[in-house]
Amino acid sequence: MDAPALRWYFDFISPFSYLQWRKLRELTHERAVALVPVAFGAVLSAHSHKGPAEIPGKREFTYQHVLWQARRDGVALRFPPAHPFNPLAALRLCVAAGSGAAAVDAIFDWIWRDGRAGDSVDALAPVAAALGVPAEAIGSDAVKAALRANTESALLAGVFGVPTLSIGAQLFWGNDAHEFALDALQHPELLEDPEMQRLKQLPVGVQRRG
């Protein structure tokens, strides 16, 4: 049996994507993982959801939780000057650079390790120069179309949040699901367990109105 394809959907606006990338980087040395930058805002809009940073109270807690997780895991993390920020320039830079591991590393490190702004082509100019990407390429029609295609492919796959790691058709959402994903990758029978399968058909007991 062929090994399932692995795809990782992420957005640079997400600190949880940064934290998972630090773990996923090791897996890319062993398995091919397609790195797919997507516009998280468009994913939220498609599902009529709000992001955690758009909900007072949840926003502050999420930031503290992110910092706690980073410190627990020994990961250097410093928030950028403002959050949420517009991530389109960072996403387009990644696409223009080929969406390889080196580009993902460089952009995440700039924004989340070093705490620098990533909300414009000018702010990301040093990263673009290091990656050999001219400024005009970041705003090209081809790059914009590729990012839209990435986001549309994520929605077609059922992605509802970032980061999401797909193993074949199975989606694992969130940094805190990383160990679950690795376990399922090593033991495919895990998801065939009768109780796991029953959960797919679990009836809805009540639906909230409005």
73 in a structural domain: yes
On whether residue 207 sits in a domain, the answer given is no
Q: What does the pLDDT look like over 75-102, one tens digit per residue?
A: 999 999 999 999 999 999 999 999 999 9
pLDDT, averaged across the chain: 96
Q: What is the CATH number of the domain that holds 106?
A: 3.40.30.10
Per residue in 44-70, pLDDT (tens digit) is 999 999 999 999 999 999 999 999 999
Specify the number of domains making up the chain.
Answer: 1
The amino acid present at 71, given as its one-letter code, is R
Q: What is the pLDDT of residues 184-196, one digit of tens each?
A: 999 999 999 999 9
pLDDT at 210: 66
Share of the chain above pLDDT 90, in %: 95
Rounded distance between C-alpha atoms, residue 160 and residue 80, angstroms: 24
Residue 196 tokens, joined: 């796991």
Instruction: Provide the pLDDT for residue 209.
Output: 82
pLDDT at 116 over 90: yes
Report the SS3 class of residue 165. Answer: strand
Instruction: Please tell me whether the overall predicted TM-score, pTM, comes out greater than 0.75 for this model.
Output: yes
DSSP states along 41-65: HHHHHHTT---GGGSTTHHHHHHHH
Q: What is the pLDDT of residue 202?
A: 96
Residue 205 lies in a domain: no
- Greater pLDDT, 3 or 43: 43
Q: Residue 64 to residues 60, 70, 103: CA-CA distances in angstroms?
A: 6, 10, 27
pLDDT of residue 184: 95
Q: What residues make up the domain containing 10?
A: 6-200
pLDDT, residue 4, reads 86
Q: What is the pLDDT of residue 1?
A: 59
In a domain, 208, yes or no: no
Q: How confident is the model at residue 138 (pLDDT cuts 50, 70, 90)?
A: very high
For residue 34, tell me if it sits in a domain: yes
Tell me whether residue 210 is in a domain: no
The two beta strands, 6-10 and 164-167, are antiparallel
Residue at 209 is within a domain:
no
Residue 71 is assigned to a structural domain of this protein: yes
